[in-house]
A and B are shown apart, each in its own frame.
Chain A
Amino acid sequence: MKNIRKLILAAFITLILASCAKDEELLFNDKNSIYVEYQDSTDYNFAYSPASIVKDSIMLHFRITGTASASDRTFSVVPAAGTTAKLDYHYKLGPLVIKANEYKVIVPIYLYRKAGLKDSLLKVVLEVQENDNFKQGLAKRQRYKFTLADIFSKPTNWETTWATYFGGYSEVKFRFLLGATGKTNWNSSPLPQDSRVLSQIARNALLEYNQTVGPLIDEFNQQVFFP
């Protein structure tokens, strides 16, 4: 019994002494994490490109939290639940590497114009996965979603993004914009400088068309104009 008491006392004294231990300095030495930096989704449609275009790419921005490293570090991104497109068939991922002394990277996602896209809208959900170098970063920035199609349609963000620059939608107007600007990705929000120049180029192209050919009339028998 005495021995048990001594043991218990020794254990508590040890605990008490341990509680007096000096805290470690609160320096950041945790594992770095990585997250999707800018936009978190897009809709890509091959129908906005000429038939000769069979491959394209979209850019995915990643940024790390933590410190830069003296050597290159790989990170992991995998298709998550809900993905209907096939990796390495409908799309491929570019190198997933944060270069030495860098804090961010732009990774291309290569998209392939496969026949099935003519009648199917495919979905990809990419998710950051922890590996030896990086944990998952900001909780709401771990995923990037995109859809892939080859079906001519009104851009999903026409009313929220493009209507302010180009007015009401018509297929004739949109096909004119595709030809005048050469822009193929209309389902994402443009940067301010890009929307400015797209609008300027489109207006000057329409001015030239009206002066050389005549009014451009859409499928609703209305003259195409930009506000």
Chain B
Amino acid sequence: MKLYKNTIGAVLFVAVLALGGCAKDDSNTDLQPVNQTKLADPATGSVIVKFQGDSLKLKPTLSQSMEKRMDELEFKWIYYQNNPTITYASERVEVSRDFELKTVISGEAFTLGEPYVFRLEVKDKSSGVMSYLNYSVQVGNKYSIGWLALVEEGGKGDLSFIFPDYTAEHHVYSSRNTAPLSGPRKLEISTFPISDEISATGKRLYILADNGSQEYNYLTMVKKFDYSFLFFKAPASINPTVLTWTSQDIYSGVRSASLGIAINNGKLHSNLVGGFPGVKKWGDIAQNPEKNQNYNLAPFVVGGKTFPAIVYDNTAKRFYHVQAYNPSPVAGSLEPLPSGSTSNVSNPLIFDMNNVGMTMIFQDSTAVLYDYNAIMRSDDNKAYMLRYKTINTTNAPIITLEKVLMDAPGILNYSAASASTVTPNLYYANGNVISRYETSSHTIRETYSLPAGETVTAMKFARTMAGVQGPRLVLATWNGTVGKVYFFSTGSLGQIGSIANVTTGFGKIVDLAYKY
């Protein structure tokens, strides 16, 4: 009997031990220390731009909480395409098992213009603890950064490219495209990626021309699509003046498209992009508030936080805003700016956005975010500046800022103009003379004469340029034989300053755009 009891006791004891072995360990006492690895590299703080064919060498630094031999660690480098539309599904490719990476950005594996992540994984073989380090790599080419010039030569359009060292390459368009450009008008570049699912997410480049307007690859500048293809329903006549994307944000790091705006034949077409699936193209002609198409838009559009897009009708001589998305009134139609005693955004003592009564001849951004200056011609042929903003709040609902009769000789017949985004100045040209109109004092502060015989054909203000200290006023001129591009380093108050660089050998430059 005693033996039987001992046996039962032993069995129960062992059973308790066995069941105890299955209990979850809630202990928070110290565990056996394991080696902690840490990877670092200042190069991860910025995007590494590599051309196809370049070698990529990455040398991170490794620190460990316990000194272990390198052969006790396991390294693995992988890369994947980091395009936001496919990131989670993009293939992870292993490229190396060494601590330092040395590989080649081969043309077959890496798509031009696409962003990639190179990731180093380090694993302690004994503990399995892992650390990671991500590098952002952008596959670019020599046309990634610089000035693009749309030129007219022998009745045909072409592209020239000005590199950061101010050397130029000409005939960039004709060397890689077969379709001739006739009547080149304007360059349109999106400075932030567009996800339209017509092609891979990325920046967009459009060339507007009398006919044959097209979308081009942002980096190779090879034709992608005909103008008509970019519309759900192709316009009956092609006469483009605007094809651009507005953004609610100003800073390039967070910018994304809120609304695509095309103005063709004076009519508005809009394009809604976003995270939803499906192909996005420009829509059909927008109707005005009278539910017809009797309007003619000026070739300018601005956008902001409150109003994704504001345009101006030179027929009704008034502003409209365009909704990004709402079902009724239909998104994409021209709508009056809010008015009435409770929601009016216009101060009638300044001007009424819905009843301006003048013709818009120019519009540009300013040194203040979301503020814009419009140059208007009155019926009695005088120049006015209208200042307004595209953002308002309940506490500050008024968006009209100022209406001023301009004392700016020649502004109504300007050949090129651009506004500073650093100081309150508007630059405009008549022939070879550049005038600086200060928008705070509303006076001409200075004029500058380029060599006689040269006419300014295009003008852009560059707040920043790669490798350059301070802003630049960039002017294109034509003397009947050759085109030049002047880079002026402007002063702290916006003074035209001195010529910092000149690049020559162009055809007649129609438009300039800075690519970055």
Report which A residues bind B (CB closer than 8 A).
Answer: 1, 5, 8-9, 12-13, 15-16, 19-20, 25, 38, 68, 101-104, 164-165, 191-197, 199-201, 203-204, 207, 226-227
Which residues of A lie under 8 Å from residue B330 when comparing CB positions? 165, 196, 199-200, 203, 226
Interchain nearest-CB distance for A65 vs B (Å): 12
* A16 and B332 form a contact (CB under 8 A): no
Contact of B328 among A8, A68, A165, A197 (CB under 8 A): A165
Q: Which residues of B contact A203 (CB under 8 A)?
A: 287, 291, 330, 333
Bound Cα distance A1, B21 (Å): 27
Q: Write 20 A-B pairs (CB below 8 A) sorted by A numbering.
A: A5-B10, A12-B11, A12-B14, A12-B17, A15-B21, A102-B89, A165-B327, A165-B330, A191-B276, A191-B277, A193-B276, A193-B278, A193-B283, A196-B270, A200-B286, A200-B333, A203-B287, A203-B330, A204-B287, A207-B292
A1–B6 alpha-carbon span in the complex (Å): 13
B233 and A197 contacting across the interface, CB-CB below 8 Å: yes
Residues on B with C-beta less than 8 A from A19 are 18, 21-22
Q: Does B292 contact A38, Cβ atoms closer than 8 Å?
A: no
- Beyond the given A193-B272, A196-B270, A204-B293, please list 20 additional residue pairs across the A-B interface where CB-CB is below 8 A: A12-B11, A12-B15, A15-B18, A16-B17, A20-B21, A165-B327, A165-B328, A191-B276, A192-B331, A193-B279, A193-B280, A196-B332, A197-B284, A200-B283, A200-B330, A200-B332, A200-B333, A203-B287, A207-B292, A227-B328
Q: Once the chains are docked, how many angstroms separate the CA of A227 from the CA of B326? A: 13
Determine chain B's interface SS by DSSP, over half rule: loop
Chain B's nearest CB lies how many Å from the CB of A197? 4
The distance in angstroms between the C-alpha atoms of A1 and B277, with both chains bound, is 74
Cα of A207 to Cα of B279 in the assembled complex, Å: 27
CB distance from B490 to the nearest CB of A (A): 42
Residue of B nearest to A200 (CB): B284
Chain A residues with CB under 8 Å of B448's CB are: none
- Known A165-B328, A227-B328; judge A194-B278 contact (CB<8 A): yes
Query: How big is the B interface, by class?
Result: 35 or more
* Cβ contact of B18, chosen from A12, A102, A104, A192, cutoff 8 A: A12
Q: Name which residue of chain B comes closest to A14, CB basis.
A: B18
Shortest Cβ distance from A15 into B: residue: B18
B21 adjacent to A16 (CB under 8 Å):
yes
| Bound CA–CA A164/B330 (angstroms) | 9
| Chain B residue at minimum C-beta to C-beta distance from A61 | B277
Contacts of A12 in B (CB 8 A): 11, 14-15, 17-18
8 Å CB contact of A197 from B89, B91, B232, B292? B232
CA of A213 to CA of B18, assembled, Å? 91
In the complex formed, the residue of A with least CB distance to B13 is: A12
Please tell me which one of the listed residues B21, B274, B284, B328 contacts residue A201 in the complex, with CB atoms under 8 A apart. B284
Instruction: Name the residue of chain A whose CB is nearest to the CB of B15.
Output: A12
The distance from the CB of A199 to the nearest CB of chain B, in whole angstroms, is: 4
Central interface residue in A8, A16, A204, by most chain B CB within 10 Å: A204
Closest to B18 in A: A15
Residue-wise, chain B 256-297 has the 8 Å CB interface mask toward A (1 for contact) of 000000000000001111101111110111110001110000
Measured in the bound complex, the distance between the Cα atoms of B273 and A44 in whole Å is 27
> B55 an interface residue at 8 Å Cβ cutoff?
no
Contacts of A196 in B (CB 8 A): 270, 272, 283, 325, 330-332
